[in-house]
Amino acid sequence: MFSSAASSLSDLVIPSEPEKLLRSDYPEVPYWTRDDWNTFVNTEKERGRIVSWLEVLTDDNGKQLSEEVIEEMTQAAYGIFTRFFYLRLDPASWGRKLPDVDDYFTRTMINKFPHLGLCHGNFKTHILATNRFPLWNRDQRAPGHLKRMFQNLVFRLN
């Protein structure tokens, strides 16, 4: 039996892991851990303010990233999601991704946008993906919009 997922995984070259950044080198970054972020969100919620997930994306001085940079990140993420689709590695939801898909996305995005690495456990790339993947999924995965690898693949059992 032929496994298109195994074949597709071999077509996915996972970049080397980016250098781990240290919180002590970036004291102005307000959300280094998921707990830092959750505490901020909950505090603001108690004050009656709803926080956009985009606020987690800051530069090394703690300033929120510009709309232009966020749009560049979004377009880069969409390009990666499209590659996953082509390789038949796109999950039904981001929470159901393969570990190699997660590694490829995280490493590629942090290599291209080092600000995403200003955290512990890569939680900023996870937040970006979980918020952008459903939009890409809704807008781009419509039948006939994108092409897949092994477009006319037929499985036969003997």
pLDDT tens digits, the chain, 158 residues: what are they? 334 555 566 778 999 999 999 999 999 999 999 999 999 999 999 999 999 999 999 999 999 999 999 999 999 999 999 999 889 899 999 999 999 999 999 999 999 999 999 999 999 999 999 999 999 988 876 666 666 655 544 444 44
Query: Is 93 domain-assigned?
Result: yes
Query: Is 88 domain-assigned?
Result: yes
Query: Is 10 domain-assigned?
Result: no
Query: Is 4 domain-assigned?
Result: no
∠13-129-70 over CA atoms, to 5°?
Answer: 105
Query: Is 54 domain-assigned?
Result: no
Query: Is 97 domain-assigned?
Result: yes
Whole-angstrom Cα distance, residue 95 to residue 126?
9
Helix (H) or strand (E) holding 128: helix 123-140
Q: Which residues pair with 64 in a beta bridge?
A: 58
Query: Is 144 domain-assigned?
Result: yes
Please give the tally of structural domains in the chain: 1
Provide the residue range defining the domain that includes 84: 67-151
Query: Is 20 domain-assigned?
Result: no
